[in-house]
Amino acid sequence: MGKSLDLLFKEIESREEELVDLLKELISFKTPAPPARNTSEAQGFIASFLQKHGFSIDRWDVYPDDPNVVGLLKGSDSENYHSLILNGHIDVAEVNENEIWEGDPFQAVVKGGAVIGRGAADMKGGLAGALFAVKLLRESGIALPGNFIFQSVIGEEVGEAGTLECCKRGYKADFAVVVDTSDLHIQGQGGAITGWVTLKSDQTYHDATRRNMIHAGGKLFAASAIEKMVKIIEGLQELERHWAVTKSYPGFLPGTNTINPAVIEGGRHAAFIADECRLWITVHYYPNETYEQVAKEVEEHIRNVAKGDPWLREHPPQFKWGGASMIEERGEIFPSFEIDPSHAAVQTLVRSHEAVLKKPPFIDVSPTVTDGGWLADAGIPTAIYGPGDLNNAHSVNEQLSIEQLVDYTKVILSFIYEWCHTKRSEKSFEIVNNAPEMTNNTLKS
């Protein structure tokens, strides 16, 4: 690292209070999801911040009052130097009215060397550190040869995948870092997909006919969809146990690939035999699997279970997978991705981490899911790297160590500088690809 970066590290230390104030300001924007539809003001702040520091801005509504913001800083020699995406979500976990916080969750306080407030760890700390790094780089007059894209997206907490919308809009780079909660580990992740399994009768029956459908000689070929769903749940449990025995992935405890029967709905009221039952499941899978693959495995197994039951053979289960929103569609997808420790950008991030913390980082897998899967799914090599730990994410009195925030800011500043100053060994794709022309017209949705 050059002397200029060492001076910037010292400046981060001397301006720690300013960094903390930036995080506190981000926390002050109330952006919990659910209910969502509340990020416009926060995204306006980030758009203005980026524009002030030379970025051209693309802002558009993914949902009403929930816009994405993408800032582009064109490199001075983008044809020959590597490009970078930094990605983070502006929404935070919901706050239940019965939670006992020390104060207002959206008026952050500093206590015991930590910033306490909703989103401190997940993940406004990551956004604050990355934005502050941008500010110092731009104030120092350092030019980046490679293109630098900053994405502040909506909807991650409820599966609304603002990041997916950025990918659909055509944003690409040679590497992406999702600045989400990783405790400064460099991580890939498993994936998750939700699905609905539906059983439905082609006829409805009064509850007084129950005897005819369950006792000898009743001669009524019918069933309660709720009771038949029990067989489906048992089948899912069998598959879950089979996966635990036959599948594994380094860094995950055996059986992490789970099938959770999360919600069950069915029946009309007490005077009817239940003619429909719906089961909402969440399937977690490993980084070397895809959501299409695991959904197919679940369907095949459950259809075989149904073939062993006379009524289910005639009324086979129906499946609906995923969705673009837990709020709008009651469904979500988080693709998995593997991390390549030998990738040049990962090695650059490792060196940046070592230079600041004087020890190598952990390279492993996240036990949760992030938007990083959508970037990887779009063909962009991706890693998760951010401050904060999962014990604090979504928690009452959520907090982030100021020391870790400072360390993270140094690392991410160093990485932005080093990667965007790294020459491409061979020509790669256009950075912004089919993305719209970006202008300095701030805050126009």
**Annotation marks residue 91 as catalytic:** yes
Residue among 66, 91, 289, 332 flagged as catalytic: 91
**Annotation marks residue 156 as catalytic:** yes
Residue among 156, 377, 389, 418 flagged as catalytic: 156
Q: What is the 3-state secondary structure (H, E, C) of the chain?
A: CCHHHHHHHHHHHHCHHHHHHHHHHHHHCCCECCCCCCCHHHHHHHHHHHHHCCCEEEEEEEECCEEEEEEEECCCCCCCECCEEEEEECCECCCCCCCCCCCCCCCCEEECCEEECCCHHHHHHHHHHHHHHHHHHHHCCCCCCCCEEEEEECCHHHCCCHHHHHHHCCCCCCEEEECCCCCCCEEEECEEEEEEEEEECCCCCEHHHHHHHHCCCCCCCCCCHHHHHHHHHHHHHHHHHHHHHHCCCCCCCCCCCCEEEEEEEECCCCCECCCEEEEEEEEEECCCCCHHHHHHHHHHHHHHHHHCCHHHHHCCCEEEECCCECCCCCECEECCECCCCCCHHHHHHHHHHHHHHCCCCCEEEECCCCCHHHHHHCCCCEEECCCCCCCCCCCCCCEEEHHHHHHHHHHHHHHHHHHHCCECCCCCCCCCCCCCCCECCCCCC
What are the catalytic residues? 91, 156
